[in-house]
Amino acid sequence: MKNESFLFDLSGVGFAFLDSSGVISLSNSLFKSYSHTISSSLMECFPETFGLEQVLKQLESGEKSVFYLDNINRKGTDGKVIYLSLTLHRHPNIAGTIVCIVKNVSQAAILKQQITQQQNDILILQQMLSVYADPSKNHMLGTSLKMQSLRESAQKVAQIPFVNILLTGESGTGKNLLARYIHTFSQNPDQPFIEINCAAIPDHLLESELFGYEKGAFTNATTAKKGLLEEADGGTLFLDEIGELPIALQAKLLHVLDDKGFRRLGSNKEIHVQFRLIAATNRDLQTLVSEKKFREDLLFRLNVVQITLPPLRELETDVLEIAAHLIRHFNAKFNKKVEGFSKQAQQALLTYHWPGNVRELSNIIERAMIFASSDIIQEEDLLFQKPQNNVTHKWHIPNEGLNLDNLEKELIQEALKKANGNKTSAAKLLGLTRDTLRYRLEKHNL
């Protein structure tokens, strides 16, 4: 064993021999220098191994061959944070002995953090720059009365500094376009416009990106980073899909709106900011409040001014103006010279029900221009979503009346039966979201 200890010292690796109870019988100097404290117990030397008693027994018996812990934080002799890896495996020659190997992996951990941070930054930038990539978001087009009223409302509210605005409407109606339009007509259009999609960013990343963090705030946070709240100071912060914001972050956002201040992760210093918050959703926030998934007090703070965007099917001939704009965009993108639509194609665009709104229109025009064989898009070039063959029932209330709660319960039970117990499928049969179905299942004790 002494020879092995000498060899490990030369290799720059900390090591120890221990039994299945975690009692250390031999260790080298590097292992002791990496340890949390001087002790003969692995759990005391490395508190990160608490609760691994079963793992040690599995290693001793051969049921498990190896166990690995990554990114254990320690402060080095110079006060800087170092990162260690810890590996446990059974000794190949000495029965009942487990080998613990500890390595300094700081350089690899820092490189990994830098790569992860760059990937996260790219993800955030993609969300923030998506407004420029979507051709439907370049202009507020349309001459219909509803679009004129929408523009007038946006321009009025834009003149009120730092007011909270809630944008509602179906998916694809252009809520992010309207948010940028409001910023453009505000008193500070040259200040930052920061956009983030709450549904597109993982929860753990969303908090650090919104609030920022200090060096060492969490594992591998090797540098401090400003959050999007700071970046938006003096300008506009646009939170798309606000209904998807985790409940814990809702409380923190409410604090920011009330006190105009927050703390970075890992910091006690209060940072004060002033910005216009625009939130958008295609969900019914009041329903989410009743389901305990959205804070009512946050809804009150967001809903100072509410603007609802009309669906595309209600914008009359505006669809043709938007489609013409899309043709110009895709002509430049695909190096084509499409001039417009045939009369039959125009009529098809006007009569289609547009469940996906402007986003769906953009996709249909893009595909048509890719495969169109002439400089005029024909009706057959437009591939619309086929309508579902829903059977319409005419309900009759019997003379003796009915119990609506019992009827709802029976319909839910029938939908679950048809879906073989699959709640997602049952929700679709009933035209509900899965969360709404779950609420109704709890209501009826199903």
pLDDT digits (tens, 9 = 90+) for 158-173: 998 889 999 999 988 9
Whether pLDDT at 365 is above 90? yes
Query: What's the number of domains the chain is made of?
Result: 4
365 with 427, same domain? no
Q: Which residues contact 349 (CB under 8 A, 6 or more apart)?
A: 319, 320, 323, 341, 361, 382
Q: Establish if 91 belongs to a structural domain.
A: yes
Q: Is 62 exposed, middle or buried (0-12, 13-18, 19+ CB in 10 A)?
A: exposed
132 with 151, same domain? yes
120 with 94, same domain? no
> CA 54, CA 50: separation in Å to the nearest integer?
11
Q: Establish if 386 belongs to a structural domain.
A: no
Q: What phi-psi label fits residue 140: left (phi over 0), alpha (psi between -120 and 50 degrees) or beta?
A: beta
Whether 307 and 150 have beta carbons less than 8 Å apart is answered as yes
189 with 205, same domain? yes
259-307 per-position pLDDT tens digit: 888 888 888 888 899 999 999 999 999 999 999 999 999 999 999 999 9
pLDDT tier at 419 (50, 70, 90 boundaries)?
A: confident
> CA 197, CA 245: separation in Å to the nearest integer?
9
65-114 per-position pLDDT tens digit: 899 988 788 877 777 788 889 999 998 888 889 999 999 888 887 787 77
The DSSP result for 328-340, as a single string, is HHHHHHHT----E
203-249 per-position pLDDT tens digit: 778 888 888 888 766 666 667 778 888 888 999 999 999 999 999 89
**Residues of the domain holding 194:** 111-308
85 with 150, same domain? no
Give me the residues paired with residue 376 across strands. 340
Residue type for 397, please?
I
The gap from C-alpha 206 to its chain's centroid, in whole angstroms, comes to 7
- What is the CATH number for 410? 1.10.10.60
Whether 227 and 199 have beta carbons less than 8 Å apart is answered as no
* Amino acid 18: pLDDT: 92
Alpha helix (H) residue ranges in 143-231: 145-158, 175-184, 203-211, 228-231
- What is the CATH number for 285? 3.40.50.300
Q: Establish if 423 belongs to a structural domain.
A: yes
pLDDT (mean) for 339-343:
92
Report the side by side order of strands in the sheet with 81-90: 24-27, 14-18, 98-104, 81-90, 66-75
110-149 per-position pLDDT tens digit: 787 777 667 766 765 665 555 444 444 446 788 889 999 9
203 with 275, same domain? yes
126 with 272, same domain? yes
Mean pLDDT of the chain: 83
249 with 337, same domain? no
266 with 155, same domain? yes
pTM of the model: 0.58
Tell me the CA distances in angstroms from 354 to 12, 59, 359, one per residue in order.
66, 61, 9
Helix (H) or strand (E) holding 195: strand 193-197
Cβ atoms < 10 Å from Cβ of 124: 21
46-69 per-position pLDDT tens digit: 988 888 888 999 998 888 889 998
Q: Establish if 329 belongs to a structural domain.
A: yes
- What is the CATH number for 339? 1.10.8.60
pLDDT tier at 371 (50, 70, 90 boundaries)?
A: confident
